[in-house]
Each structure stands twice: as C-alpha cells, then as structure tokens.
Amino acid sequence: MRTCPTCQRRYLDSQAACPLDQATLGAPDATEAPPALGTVLGSYQLISLLGTGGMGSIYIGAHLRLNRYVAIKLLRRELVRRKENITRFFEEARTLNRIKHPNIVESVDLVEDVVGGAYCVMELLNGPDLKARIAAGPLPLASAIDIAAQIADALFAAHELDIVHRDLKPENLILIRRGERAEFVKLIDFGVAQISAEDATAAPVGTPAYMAPEQAAGHRVDGRADIYALGVLLYEMTVGVHPFPSSNDAEYLLRHADDEPPPPSAQRAMPTELEDVILQCLAKQPADRPPTAAAVAAALRAIELDPVVSAPRGGPAKWIAAAVLALGAAAAAVVVPRYLDSSEAEATTATEHAAPRLPLTPPAPTPTEPVPGPTLITLALTSTPPGATVTRVGETAPLGVAPFVASLVRSDKASRLRFELAGHAPREIDVPLTSSHAVGITMQRLPAVVSKKRAAEPGKQKPESAKPTGVQREGVMDPFAN
C-alpha cells in the first residue's frame, strides 16, 4: 500500500499519484490491502477505500483505459443474495438521477454483475465534509449563509419531486472547489430518502441529532423535516455547538421534542434576520417552519453583512423582496446562485421604502378563545438492539418502533408498555407518565433451536425420546428488510 502525503489516503502499489490532490504517493509498504481493493468492476479498478457503511463500502475507482476517476459504492456481498436489498440499493441512484441538481452528487452508472456484485458509479468528490468544517470552530457568517443557501437549493430540487432526504447531517454534505468557489456544496446519501409513493411507516429513520420531532415520532414527513435539520446545521455553523447538546440518541429525541433552542445571538453577534431564519427552521410544529426550502434560500441570500461589524446592510427591503419571491408574490429583488447563467440571473434594485418585514411563514390567525387541551409529556423510547415494537398493554395499535418519541397524556398513573422484537423475549415495564423522560430497554435474545438434521449424526437414527430444547426463534431482525 502507498500513502498520500497530503490527504493520508491509502492506495494500491500500482497507483503513482493521488487522484484527489495530485500529490506523489509515498513508497510502498507491507500493509495488507483492505478487502476488495484491486478488484476490477467493469472498466474500473478499485484503488482506494473511502469509507464503509451498513449497506456497503465506497471506493475510488480508476478507469482502466481513460485517465478518469470515480467513486464506486459496492453493496456488501452477503446482501446481494436478497433481491429487495439490490432494489433498495439501486433506488438511491435512481433518486439522484431524478433530481439532477448541481448541489447533489451525480450518479453515473448502475450495475448488477454476477461476479462483481451490485455497485453504483458516482462522481468523485474532492473535499472535506461539513462535519470537519464545523469541528474547526464557528464559520464566518458569510460562509455559513452561503453554504446553508446552497443546501436549501438542493433540498428544494428534491422536494419538488416529492423526495425527502430524511438524513441531512454534516457528514452528508461535501464541500468541494468548483471554479472560483472554494465551498461548493454537494449533498450525498439518499439511501433513506422518502418517496411520495411509499407507504407510511412507524419506524423512524435518520440521525437523532438532526431529526425533526415529527420524524422521531414515526410520522410521515414532508420537506419541512429537512428544513428542521437545516436549522440545526445553520445553528451549528454559526454558533459552533449543537442547539441541543446531548450525550445519547434518546436525549436528542427528547430535547428536539420538548426544549426550545437557546437564541443564537446570545452566543454570537449576528443579524436579527439570520437568527429569525434559524429559529423558524427549528420550530417544533412543521406548520410554523418556512413553507419551502426555496423560501429559506431566498431569505438567507437577502442578508448582507457588514464586513467590519457583521451587521446587515441595505435595510429590510431586500429581506422582504426575497421572502415575497419565495412565496410566489411580486418581488423587488432576486438573488440567485452563482452557478446559474449570468444572463438569467439579472436582479433589479430593491427600493429602500419597504413596508414592515414579511415573515417567512404566513401569520397564523389569532384565536378568539383559547381551547384548553390535555397536558402532554414525551417519552424517548429506545431498545437494544433497535427495532422493538412498543405497545401499551391492553391496546392493539403499537405506539411505534424503537427508537422513537411518543407523546402521551400526562397522568399520575403509570402505563404498562410491552416491547417485542423477533428472536428476543418480550418485556413489559411500568412507565411513569408524570413528566417527559427517556426509557431504554435491553432485549434478551432467545436461545436458538438445534435443527433435527444437524442433531442427528450421519448414519445414526436419532432416539425417539430426544426432543428439541429451547424456544423456536421467530426470526432475525434485518435492518435492510424494509
């Protein structure tokens, strides 16, 4: 194996230079190559391992005849045996091809090969992910606004096709150099995207740290769940910390459901307009968030920062123009992404005599009389391993599939919950309903049954008195079964 002195990636001995930064690789050493490295898939050879996930691994692929490099996502060999896994694997690439947006990674090819297995060929992205960028500290406000606006562009393109990403997080955003732009956003990993034609599911998917309250509760979501995750990202980029710091997934789920985020301006000086966007994106109820990602992008691009004091310039008129444009009304100014053709991106000058600022979301009607309702508490329910179905004893409809957040009516009496997971012994516990809290259960695996064929030795008759012991397992939890 040979190492790039710049990015520290490891390559096959046959590779002379790093295709990402063109640095000359170091001398070969005796390190053993990762599995599958060196394999030839169609016209490409796998020369470097980029990362490994639940569905498979991503490699750098080198074309055998052309000076071309790509990223190849290879489905794990044991998953290829099941047709539904291949269908799910390919659905991500088909989703990418439907959207076709500059800020979304491009899918080049799909292959189901008898020898090589199933793999997807994508464009190779050269740049850090947003997680590494945030880890270095809060971003300059101008950079945070620009990156967030690009993310909103990508989301709007997906939402227009009724595709919800559902796993928007820093690791799924790559910052590359394109032309004069050093931080051009590429959104990746649509593996858990929700398509409008899918059936609703009670099993929440995504990353708890960036999961909207309704998504964590297992409800069917729309694009406003992605807008919530964008609000978390924008908070992290500008402040440098998560709005709801937590030590585990259950705590994240609870805090997203119950806690209000600390005002970003209390931790860093910023324009009021920017803070308004962040807090509206983080609204607990989807109806209180911006109606579209396009509205978020337009509002962000309407904020102009003073280079010295980081204060907005130009008054509220440009904010109004962008918000009105995003909502479909007449606007005085249009700010468009730089990657669009300049002939289509001409903007008129906003007037300085604007009316009071228009909010991102239409004002809700003021109720004449408040209607009292029951006091609700939230339970963050988790199971180890995940996937247990949780039901109130005495009821037939399940509350959801762990991990998820359930909203229940506050009561001085405890509620008995039953956790059921295939291949594990069911468990019942009494859960107090006096306040919001987390509930975690460890499921005990049932002993496997020794099959009759394996128990009987070849050529010998099994004694009639021998009976199988243990309890028959109902099944094995497969995270890729859905």
d(CA 290, CA 224): 8
d(CA 275, CA 267): 11
Smallest Cα–Cα separation from 324: which of 313, 335, 314, 315? Answer: 335
**Catalytic site residue from 153, 167, 249, 258:** 167
Is 167 a known active-site residue?
Answer: yes
DSSP codes, 33-101: PPTTTT-EETTEEEEEEEEE-SSEEEEEEEESSSS-EEEEEEE-GGGTTSHHHHHHHHHHHHHHHHH--
d(CA 29, CA 23): 17
In terms of DSSP H, where are the helices of 117-211?
130-135, 141-159
Q: What angle do CA 404, 410, 415 make, to 5 degrees?
A: 65
d(CA 80, CA 76): 7
Q: What angle do CA 382, 252, 50 make, to 5 degrees?
A: 90
d(CA 466, CA 472): 16
d(CA 411, CA 336): 52
d(CA 318, CA 325): 11
Smallest Cα–Cα separation from 360: which of 410, 303, 320? Answer: 320
Distance of CA 404 to the CA centre of its chain: 16
Measured CA to CA in angstroms, residue 285 lies from 54, 83, 288, 327 at distances of 32, 38, 5, 19
Q: Which residues are catalytic?
A: 167
